[in-house]
Amino acid sequence: SRANTVRGFHHEEHMERLHEPDDGETMPLRFLFNLTSIPGDELLSSAELRLYRHQIDEAIASTLSDDQGLYRINVYEVLKPPRQGQLITQLLDTRLVHHNASRWESFDVSPAVLRWTREGLPNYGLAVEVLHLNQTPHHQGRHVRISRSLHQEPGEDWEQLRPLLVTFGHDGKGHPLTRRTKRSPKQRGRKRNRNCRRHALYVDFSDVGWNDWIV
């Protein structure tokens, strides 16, 4: 069946790692999404994690080569309860992006979400890693908004930019959307239709009570 229900979930902020390394090292950030509000009879078909990324400052961008302006975003499923400084993960989706645009990026996390909802496996969350290619720590920017920043830029609304997990499912109500079959082209010439044609009939009006008078 096709999806007729879309749900959005924000992560539980108190579960994420709030500090950022000072030496330019990139570390995966863990997100935990509470999906218990999804009804048990709702059949999920897919899910995606949406992250917002900023275009970096033009002054910095002008000093970067094409290779330096690239960075990779990796999204993982966390497979086991996290330990201090260690995450056991499995890669779900990855993307190589450029610094020259501000936009939302969507990552397919369906395998993990379906395991949590359909198979009832433990939900230890997702992890996001941002790898800036060929950049020095000086150029390491916070281009991907995956955590609340202590130095938030003026005019930024964290509630509008924070990561969002979106699920697509069918609630069992109504009819799934299906494609209409394409009609075959009309054939030239008159086609004989045995279901619709004139027949000679005899009616005895006395049988229906119309034998007294007829207009």
User: Using one digit for the tens of pLDDT, what is the confidence trace for 112-145?
Assistant: 999 999 999 999 999 998 887 765 444 444 555 5
Whether residue 127 lies inside any domain: the answer is yes
| 18 confidence band (pLDDT: 50, 70, 90) | very low
Q: Are 76 and 29 contacting, i.e. CB atoms less than 8 angstroms apart?
A: no
Whether residue 21 lies inside any domain: the answer is yes
Query: What pTM was computed for the model?
Result: 0.66
Nearest to 52 by CA among 182, 187, 174, 144: 144
Cβ-based neighbours of 42, under 8 Å, separated by 6 or more? 5, 169, 170, 171, 172
The residue segments making up the domain with residue 14 are 5-157
Whether residue 187 lies inside any domain: the answer is no
* The residue count for the chain: 215
Please give the single-letter amino acid code of residue 98: H
Cβ-based neighbours of 99, under 8 Å, separated by 6 or more? 55, 56, 61, 64, 69, 70, 71, 141, 143
Whether residue 35 lies inside any domain: the answer is yes
Whether residue 213 lies inside any domain: the answer is no
Whether residue 119 lies inside any domain: the answer is yes
Say what the pLDDT of residue 8 is: 95
Residue 48 tokens read as: 């995606």
Whether residue 179 lies inside any domain: the answer is no
| 53 confidence band (pLDDT: 50, 70, 90) | confident
Whether residue 91 lies inside any domain: the answer is yes
Rg (CA), the chain: 30
Write the pLDDT tens digit of every residue in 143-174: 555 544 434 454 455 567 788 999 999 988 86
- CA 104 – CA 92 distance, rounded (Å): 18
Structural domain tally of the chain? 1
Residue 209 tokens read as: 């009570």
